Chain A
């Protein structure tokens, strides 16, 4: 028993310089990476486009005079609603897919932690692949595969988001402290009851708060999704810029910012109240 503190100090003494070294290695790697990436910019053609400076000036001017005509504002309201609808529908579908997958991937359904459970590893692999591909890539593939349906946007959003939600849920389920679960078992609860009365309440508030955070991200993603022709905010921004109508583009961009700021405030207000 006495030897324990001695061991600890020895470990520390060995550990500290190594830690320092590894940080220095990391700094070196990052600096080298920056230098390498800078070398890959085509500097010979100049940094700016021929008309770049003029375009920048025009954009800046247009920011101060966004197009506020009735026609554009009506389009703005319509596309904000469409963007929100894609986000809510996509996120709910992501929950339906991600929650069960995350539960299987966490291994808590098995009494041995599911170390060798093939279903568990399959779920983890599936989650990793779902979140590897960006939602706009999914959107493009879905539009090509099934046509310009709103469902294409919803599916494109739901797949990567289910991958992310599933991984986070799996981690939350694994992090539930054992003590209270033991207490429930000693009060005679079955494993199913331990799950519903012990694990679920522990996970619920964090899962809820994370889901609202993802809703915030989902709205940004839904904007981007509509670029492939699905008629949300992003679609209108793209069309306006193709017409070089910077003022109109800023109307939609400012509308997007306002919506995102509002949803962020809402989601952070909820998260403040839900997590303690």
Chain B
């Protein structure tokens, strides 16, 4: 039987250690989340919590209020339509600014384009990559908190915040497309006498652009979901209205804002799916 023993046996690798580490984190996280609960004067799992949640749902629906709920008033719909319009404009501006930033830099951060270009290329590559990592690691909301100190109120601070974060995301995705690309056409162009820049523009862009467009549209779907969140802090659109309605306990207005939000999200998803078909 010893003859049959395989010479390689399963080994415990990085992935196994990682899974165990993740499981340890998982258990301690739940202990933390639920254990915290016990120090409170009342428990999370209680009829009191359930009662409050039910009461909140009733508030959202406007049950037991004398005034007519906001979502049933045409004037309220037309007032918030302007905010929904602003929110949509903010999302478009944000994704377009991000796309422009990404289009300018994505080749400078692609390993196979910048490799072997000597020290200046290496330094540019490093700086560009670092700017993406920085832009991407900071969430949109944090960028928005900073942007309100700098830009005048309106859709601009929110759009800039969203654009910075998505510039990092889109550039990295675009660079990955270029890194996974067939570089032979570029080399062929170069050997036929085109300069380095021209060869890249004619060889890389046509190949990368359709994928880039697809990513751009996918990110737009994410951006429209985040626009309301950025609006919480960056004085603009539906987010601001949501925040005000929440603090003033106008819960039926909250419902109205959420309805607009769903309309925008589902509309953008549909539009993006349609445009993606054009990009193919």
B279/A266 in contact, CB under 8 A: no
Determine if B49 is an interface residue (Cβ-Cβ < 8 Å): yes
The listed residue (B25, B56, B148, B225) touching A144 by CB distance below 8 A is B56
A33 to B228, CA, bound (A): 19
User: Is there contact, CB below 8 Å, between A25 and B278?
Assistant: yes
**How many interface residues does chain B have, given as a range?**
35 or more
Q: Is the CB of A36 within 8 A of B92?
A: yes
Chain A residues with CB below 8 A from B49, complex form? 146-147, 149
A134 to B153, CA, bound (A): 23
Chain A residues near B225: list those with CB within 8 A: 132-134
Closest chain A residue to B45, Cβ basis: A151
Interchain CB contact (< 8 A) of B152 among A37, A42, A221: A42
Note all chain B residues with C-beta closer than 8 A to A149: 36-37, 40, 44, 49
The verdict on B210 contacting chain A, using a C-beta distance below 8 Å, is: yes
Give B275's nearest chain A residue, CB to CB. A26
Interface positions, chain A 203-219, Cβ under 8 Å from B, are 215
Q: Are B149's CB and A150's CB within 8 A?
A: no
The SS class assigned to the B binding surface is: helix
**A34 contacts B53, C-beta separation under 8 Å:** no
Q: Which of B93, B213, B278 contacts A40 (CB 8 A)?
A: B93
Stretch at the interface among B109-117, B184-192, B258-266: B258-266
A14 at interface, CB cutoff 8 A:
no
Whether A47 and B15, one on each chain, are in contact in the complex, defined by CB atoms closer than 8 angstroms, is: no
Q: In chain B, what residue has the closest Cβ to A22?
A: B278
- Docked pose: A133 CA to B229 CA in angstroms: 10
Is A146 a contact partner of B44 (Cβ separation < 8 A)?
A: yes
Q: How far is the CB of B83 from chain A (nearest CB, A)?
A: 12
Report B45-67 CB contacts with A as 1/0, cut-off 8 Å. Answer: 00001001100110000000000
A145 touches B56 (CB 8 A): yes
Are the CB atoms of A151 and B44 closer together than 8 Å?
yes
0/1 interface trace, chain A 34-63, chain B, CB 8 Å (1 if under)? 101110111001111101110110010000
